[in-house]
Structure 1
Amino acid sequence: MDEILTKSTRAAFWFLAISLMVWAVWPEWRIYSAGVVLGVSASLVNAFLLRKRVAWIGTLSKDNPNPPRKVGLGLASRLAVVLLAAMLAHRYPDLFHLPSVLYSCFFMPVVSLFFAILRNRRTF
């Protein structure tokens, strides 16, 4: 999982760099590229929250077959990150394009799935 997340993070940073270059070069595309930057940033935060949660569950299940319930870092945290990004885009429509933010919030899951499929094909 760490290999896939590392590759996905590297792809996200490349995509962020390209989006920032678009923001700097084409002023008429600034609202869209700023939305993409906000959405991909939220997607990166969600990926790291999910990684932390999966690692916690993995270590806990190895040590204890009946793990206690932990509050936090679950679905609510990841939904709150996307909600915060959407609220920022809704609050400042002159800075961020809301559909761009929402579409790019799915960047890390899609890229991670793509790299997982490539890794699976290479393995078999």
Structure 2
Amino acid sequence: MNEIFRKAMRSALYLMSLCIVVWLLVPSLKAIAAGIVAGCAASLFNAYLLRRRIDLLGQIVVDQGPRRMSIGMAGRLATVLFVVMIANKFPQHLNVAATLSASFFVQIAVFLITAVTYSKHSGKG
């Protein structure tokens, strides 16, 4: 799982780097590129929070046995809401649709990387 998470994080960082280059070179796409960077940043933050929370939950289960604990969905939704509200407040700098779309980039990347990885492994058997 760590390798899949690392690949998804790396792909988000590559996308953000590409968008920064587009932001610098193409003036007409500045708001869209900036929105993608802001959304990817929120997505990276949410992925890190989820990974940390799952590690903590696993440690609690190992140490103390089963215990009811949420995985912090409200905090991750608040992060996306915060970034989209900033984009809505400053539409000349951040494209709202690009920001909202990119806010789920890492989660979608994890899903796709996992699907490709496990389809390769199941094809070998």
**One fold, TM greater than 0.5?**
yes
- Could you say if the C-alpha distance between residues 26 and 7 of structure 1 is closer, same or farther in structure 2, counting changes exceeding 3 Å? same
Q: Structure 1 residue 66: deviation in Å?
A: 3.0
Give the equivalent residue in structure 2 for 1:35.
35
Report the secondary structure of 2:35's partner residue: helix
Q: Distance in 2 between matches of 1:104 and 1:123?
A: 29
Give the equivalent residue in structure 1 for 2:117.
119
Q: Which moved more, 1:114-123 or 1:60-69?
A: 60-69
Q: Structure 1 residue 77: deviation in Å?
A: 1.1
Structure 2 gap ranges (5+): none
The runs of 4+ residues in structure 1 deviating greater than 2 Å are 66-70
Q: TM-score under structure 1 normalisation? A: 0.92
Provide, for residues 50-88 of structure 1, a one-character-per-residue CA deviation record: whole Å limited to 9, x for no partner. Answer: 001111111111122232647xx6111101110110111
Q: Structure 1 residue 104: deviation in Å?
A: 0.7
Aligned residue pairs, count:
122
Tell me, yes or no, if the aligned pair for 2:39 and 2:99 is still in contact at 8 Å: yes
Q: Distance in 2 between matches of 1:36 and 1:68?
A: 36
Structure 1 gap ranges (5+): none
**Among 85, 88, 95, which residue is 2:86 paired with?**
88
Give the equivalent residue in structure 1 for 2:106.
108
Letter in 1 for 2:37: V
Report sequence identity in percent: 30
Give the equivalent residue in structure 2 for 1:15.
15
Report the secondary structure of 2:65's partner residue: coil
- Could you say if the C-alpha distance between residues 112 and 69 of structure 1 is closer, same or farther in structure 2, counting changes exceeding 3 Å? closer
Tell me, yes or no, if the aligned pair for 2:57 and 2:69 is still in contact at 8 Å: no
Q: Distance in 2 between matches of 1:9 and 1:20?
A: 17
Q: Distance in 1 between matches of 2:77 and 2:48?
A: 13
Letter in 2 for 1:98: V
Q: TM-score under structure 2 normalisation? A: 0.92
